[in-house]
Structure 1
Amino acid sequence: MSKPLVVSVPHSLGQAEALRRIQVGIGKAKVKYAAYGSLDEETWNGNHLDFQVSALKQSLRGTVDVGAEDVTLTMTLPWVLSMMTDKARSFVTNFGTKLLTQK
């Protein structure tokens, strides 16, 4: 098992607005990226999300924590996908930044 991928994206929206944008963004991503993978589990507990995603015949689990000043995604990629850690980090950072900065 590889070490966890941790991506933190800062914001100045306040926790409630950041949470709303993340939830809307996840809904849009499910549709936009359906050909590449699926969100098999999505469990919100306040500002904390536990999720499971399937992609490239692999399954991975992770969390998202929405804070007052940042949003942090943590997930451990299976060995097969760990070779794509840098691409995954870049994708998550770009996606999160767009969600938290665009109006």
Structure 2
Amino acid sequence: MQQAIEVDLAHDLGKTEARSRIAGNIGSLEDHIPGGAVDVVERWEGDSLYLDIGAMGQTVAARLDVEETKVHIKVELPGLLGMFAGPIQAMLQSRGDDLLLEDRRKD
């Protein structure tokens, strides 16, 4: 049984800049996953980013929909990972804005 988490991250960057920053920062995603991500597969379809994240022996599916004033994140937690839905949702709300920081590749 899967447990879904949904979070909205407000921003004032506009859709194009928000999408660009997410694309530039998605490589740092594994820094935010306990134990690190084993494998991250990303795929853009328009302004939606689909992620398959291999971590702790499980694959977590996520979708980020980039809008003009917010990013809507939906994460599907498989099996026992659903027990951690509360802490994961809290982490997304408090640290999710890291994806919208200036593109670190420009340094």
Q: TM-score range by the shorter chain?
A: 0.7 to 0.9
1:41 CA displacement? 1.6
Query: 2:7 is matched with which residue?
Result: 7
Query: 1:75 is matched with which residue?
Result: 75
TM-score, normalization by structure 1: 0.83
Query: 1:87 is matched with which residue?
Result: 87
Q: Retained in 2: the 8 A contact 1:39–1:51? A: no
Q: Which runs of 5+ in 2 are unaligned?
A: 103-107
TM-score, normalization by structure 2: 0.80
- Cα distance change on mapping 1:95 and 1:24 into 2, 3 Å: farther
Stretch of structure 1 that moved more, 87-96 or 42-51: 87-96
CA distance in structure 2 between the aligned counterparts of 1:39 and 1:9, rounded to whole angstroms: 24
Q: Percent identity?
A: 27
1:33 CA displacement? 5.1
Q: Which runs of 5+ in 1 are unaligned?
A: none
1:26 CA displacement? 0.7
1:50 CA displacement? 1.2
1:39 CA displacement? 3.9
Which amino acid is the alignment partner of residue 66 of structure 1?
V
1:89 CA displacement? 0.8
- Cα distance change on mapping 1:60 and 1:99 into 2, 3 Å: closer
Query: Does 1:40 find its partner at 2:24?
Result: no
Which amino acid is the alignment partner of residue 16 of structure 2?
A
